[in-house]
């Protein structure tokens, strides 16, 4: 079954080698490696802004920052009138994210009734998951065997087993499991940019 494209919706509120006489590349810490190509969220409720910034910056080389995205997302009459609304909704909605990318010249597309195979074909894809007792946005980067690779704005690059991911991936009434992709006017290429997974990532971030 093909994933269904959704109308706008507002409810949907992660070898060391040594040589003599050879200039070595700078050694990265484990933290730096884990956070490579991931925008880490600065605020408790900004995972949507950080995940979207990860997509824009590392998929399309858009130099936008998380702060710029979050500022634009909150610059709406309903949030200005009621600043606590973002907290009540536990963050921004996918509709908020779509409005932002559309205004920036991209096309934000929400897809429903998705399967893991659909996610793999559409990657990188922003997806809502429920983990550690709260709802959270991550970027699905790819799958290898029984593991998926995620760019998690709260942690960095991480993997889950497909079973763990399917349990965490939120399933909504009527529209099922959803994903959000960002496209450009050039439909010939679906770019992954630096979010394209390398097989060793599934071992490094295991």
Per-residue pLDDT in tens (0 to 9) along the chain, 206 residues: 667 776 554 444 423 333 334 444 567 788 888 889 999 999 777 899 999 999 999 999 999 999 999 889 888 777 666 766 656 455 678 899 999 999 999 999 999 999 999 999 999 999 999 998 889 999 999 999 999 999 999 999 999 999 999 999 999 999 999 999 999 887 544 567 889 888 888 888 87
User: Counting runs of H as helices and runs of E as strands, what totals does the chain give?
Assistant: 9, 9
Determine which one of 14, 47, 52, 73 is catalytic.
Answer: 47
pLDDT score of 93: 84
18 is catalytic: no
HEC-encoded secondary structure of 132-195: CCEEEEEEEEEEECCEEEEEECCCEEEEEEHHHHHHHECEECCCEECEEEEECCCCCCCCCHHH
- How long is the chain? 206
pLDDT score of 43: 79
Express each pLDDT in 145-192 by its tens digit.
999 999 999 999 999 999 999 999 999 999 999 999 999 887 544 567
* pTM attached to this predicted model: 0.82
pLDDT score of 127: 97
Instruction: Name all domains of the chain by residue range, CATH numbers in brackets.
Output: 34-184 (3.90.70.10)
Half-sphere exposure of residue 100: CA atoms within 13 angstroms, side-chain side: 26
């Amino acid at each position: 079954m093909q994933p269904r494209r959704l109308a706008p919706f507002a409810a949907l509120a992660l070898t060391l080698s040594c040589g003599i006489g050879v200039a070595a590349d700078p050694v990265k810490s484990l933290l730096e490696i884990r956070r490579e190509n991931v925008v880490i969220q600065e605020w408790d409720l900004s995972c949507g802004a950080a995940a979207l910034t990860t997509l824009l910056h590392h998929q399309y080389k858009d130099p936008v920052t998380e702060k710029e995205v979050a500022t634009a997302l909150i610059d709406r009459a309903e949030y200005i009138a009621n600043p606590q609304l973002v907290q009540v909704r536990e963050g921004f909605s996918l509709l908020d994210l779509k409005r932002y990318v559309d205004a920036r010249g991209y096309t934000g597309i929400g897809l429903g009734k998705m399967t893991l195979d659909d996610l793999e074909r559409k990657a990188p894809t922003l997806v809502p998951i429920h983990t550690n007792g709260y709802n959270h946005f991550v970027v699905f980067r790819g799958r290898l065997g029984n593991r998926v690779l995620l760019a998690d704005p709260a942690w960095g690059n991480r993997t889950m087993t497909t079973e763990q991911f399917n349990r965490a991936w939120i399933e909504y009434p009527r529209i099922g499991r959803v994903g959000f992709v960002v496209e450009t006017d050039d439909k010939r290429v679906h770019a992954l940019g630096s979010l394209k997974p390398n097989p060793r990532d599934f071992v490094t971030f295991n």
